[in-house]
Amino acid sequence: MAQKLKLLLIKDVMDLGKSGEIISVKPGYARNFLFPKQKAIRADKNTIRMQGKLQKERAVKTAHDKKESIELAKVLENVKLSITVKVDPAGHMYGSVGHIDIVQLLKEKNIELDKKNIALKKPIKEVGEFDILIKLVEDVEVNIKLSVIPEAVKEEEKKEKKQPKKEESIKEEEK
């Protein structure tokens, strides 16, 4: 079995560590991913000195990212999303609502997020109201509301909105 390498992370690597941390990884992962993308270097005496500098830079970046995430979380708290889906006569959805659908709905409201930020364990396959957990940078989390509305209900709402207009026109004709 190959021995693990000790590396100093230069950049953040998801699910591995943040810049300035010393990690142990298998040689293949280092050779095939970390080194070519310049995300890590071998940890020796010289690089250990660089670790302090990287950790200071990381602390500044962390504070900035956390501030931005908190501001975005405040915006997201008030966001209510709704999506219309096709359903069969029994009320079952034909498809599902997944990460990409939620990202697209947020994009329509001028909020740019990645599908990695949406903490959805499995796609939504039923109609109703759902709380969706959004995980932002630096462990900031926020819940948003998602309404999955069947297409038939949406059409009924449109008809109801049109009916008052007819009544208004009748009142105008009576005048």
**Quick one: fold of 5-64?**
Ribosomal Protein L9; domain 1 (3.40.5)
What residues does 144 pair with on adjacent strands? 132
Q: pLDDT digit string (tens) for 66-76?
A: 999 999 999 99
What is the Cα–Cα distance from 71 to 107, expressed in whole angstroms? 17
Identical fold, 5-64 and 79-174: no
Amino acid of residue 33: F
What six digits make up the tokens of 158?
Answer: 């449109």
CATH number of 79-174: 3.10.430.100
Task: Give residue limits of the domains in the chain.
Answer: 5-64, 79-174
Query: Average pLDDT, whole number, for the chain?
Result: 85
Report which DSSP code applies to 173: H
- E-only strand ranges, the chain: 5-9, 22-25, 40-42, 80-85, 118-119, 128-135, 141-150
Note down pLDDT in tens along the chain; length 175 residues: 578 999 999 988 988 998 889 999 999 999 999 999 999 999 888 888 888 888 888 889 889 999 999 999 999 998 999 999 999 888 889 999 999 999 999 999 999 999 999 999 999 999 999 999 999 988 899 999 999 999 865 555 555 555 554 444 444 444 4
